[in-house]
Structure 1
Amino acid sequence: MKSVARTLGALTLLLAAPAFAQSTLVDSDGNGTFSMAEMRAVYPDLSEEAFAAIDADASGEVSIEELAAAQTNGLLPTME
């Protein structure tokens, strides 16, 4: 019975890993902020209007602080 539980546990981790990897926001250009393209990689339905609302300083990029505020204010789901 323990081997079945271990097998199921391992299978669950293997199946969950790709989903987790797809939901990780990555600063692909390393500039410390997130572009529309970087945001859409995780939030494919993100509209330009929603991006503009999240980008509080209208810099064209989303900072970590803006991302946290958007999650706190319900503009984006929190990342697990």
Structure 2
Amino acid sequence: MGKIIFLIAVVILGFVCTWIAIFGKKKDVKSAGTSIPTDFADVFFMILYRMFPSFLRRIVLFLLGAGGVVFAIYALIYLK
């Protein structure tokens, strides 16, 4: 049951990322992401994300959100 709730939360988070990528203002897109990196991968992602122009940030957010939604729905369907 806990896995299902987690995957539903991932779907909602994916939709939020996708919504911000499509309809968000430039300031919202620029401020999306964590402010304090916790590991090396997060540091690498934040450096790349800060270097991207606004248009590419929207694409990255959209792909991140859509990927989360697709993964979670796939896992929900085949999780029995």
Do the structures match in fold with TM over 0.5?
Answer: no
More helix by share: 2
TM tier relative to shorter chain: 0.3 to 0.5
| TM-score of the pair, normalised by structure 2 | 0.34
| TM-score of the pair, normalised by structure 1 | 0.34
